[in-house]
Amino acid sequence: MKKVLRNPLALIGFLIIAGILFLALIAPFIAPYDPDAINVKAILLSPSAQHLMGTDGLGRDVFTRMLYGSRISLMVGFVAVGIATAIGIVLGAIAGFYRGWVDTVIMRVVDVMLSIPTFFLILAVIAFLTPSIWNIMIVIGLTSWMGVTRLVRAEFLSLRNREFVLAAQALGAKDSRLIFTHLLPNSLTPIIVSSILGIASAVLVESGLSFLGLGVQAPQASWGNILTDGKEYIQFAWWLSLFPGLAILITVLGYNLLGDGLRDAYNPRTSQR
């Protein structure tokens, strides 16, 4: 943690993510309005002291909807990456530990999945399902595990013949003990970095799906569908596009800065500088 905090960009990323998470957690307590309350007398009001980020085409307070939208966007990122990481760890561990034909089969499946454009694959799957936040999280998770699988496999192949693993194997340790006690704990650092960077990608995918109308459905607020509302009034209601766009930009930037900082902190070549 000290190494991360000594990295200015990583520190900025950490503060950004911590701030957004804090706002998402306390959203019900600081939101000035009901996120779904329609007010025909306050349609498309520009930002002011009463409405910090203006109102939308139904008179709903954009600041309130942004706060609640952060909860949706971040939840999608965490759950989707959790699913992808769990699948990737299991498949990567099996491929890297047992090698041989098991490794060959798993990695050919990974190659096939990587050859398909992920976003279009998600669009195709979502088109056959009812658009909902849970379907989005599951689909993003089930189509994003390939990178983690290759990463875990590479780590296991690197550690498989190390002395501490061979010693444990010579003492009669079972495969499960070798994997969960010796190999996996020594592979966690790149997995954590990959997961943090994956959350940024998941937030972007969710925002894109919601923008296209295939993600979180109205009246539930997310940054993507707030952007969708904004495109209809972009010529005279700039705030409907600016604020959610900035929120997505800052969030993704924060996760990328934090992920790069962690990667540099745990890289022996850069951490010794």
**Residues 129-149: pLDDT tens digits?**
777 788 888 888 888 899 899
For residue 136, what are the CA distances in angstroms to 130, 216, 263? 10, 8, 28
**pLDDT for the residue 250:** 93
Residue span of the structural domain in which 93 resides = 2-31+71-271
Which tokens hold the place of 167? 């010693």
Q: Is the pLDDT of residue 125 over 50?
A: yes
- DSSP alpha helices (H): ranges in the chain? 2-5, 8-25, 27-30, 62-98, 100-114, 118-127, 133-142, 146-159, 163-170, 175-177, 188-211, 223-231, 239-265, 268-271
Most confident of 117-121, 129-133, 241-245: 241-245
Residue 162 maps to which CATH number? 1.10.3720.10
Q: Could you give the number of structural domains in the chain?
A: 1
Which tokens hold the place of 216? 């979180």
Q: Does any domain span residue 149? A: yes
Q: Does any domain span residue 55? A: no
pLDDT average, residue stretch 43-50: 87
Q: Is the pLDDT of residue 271 over 70?
A: no
Q: Does any domain span residue 47? A: no
Average pLDDT, the chain: 85
Q: Does any domain span residue 54? A: no
pLDDT average, residue stretch 62-75: 89
Q: Could you tell me the pTM of the whole model?
A: 0.85
Q: Is the dihedral of CA 144, 145, 146, 147 positive or negative?
A: positive
Q: Does any domain span residue 264? A: yes
With both helix axes pointing from N to C terminus, report the angle between 62-98 and 146-159 in degrees, rounded to the nearest 10.
40
**pLDDT for the residue 209:** 83
Q: Does any domain span residue 184? A: yes
Question: What distance in Å separates the CA atoms of residue 177 and residue 270, rounded to the nearest whole number?
Answer: 32
Q: Is the pLDDT of residue 107 over 50?
A: yes
pLDDT average, residue stretch 49-72: 89
Q: Does any domain span residue 52? A: no
pLDDT band at residue 269 using 50, 70 and 90 as cut-offs: low
> 143 Cβ partners below 8 Å, 6+ apart?
113, 118, 121, 122, 125
Question: What distance in Å separates the CA atoms of residue 200 and residue 252, rounded to the nearest whole number?
Answer: 5
pLDDT average, residue stretch 165-190: 84
Question: What distance in Å separates the CA atoms of residue 78 and residue 81, rounded to the nearest whole number?
Answer: 5
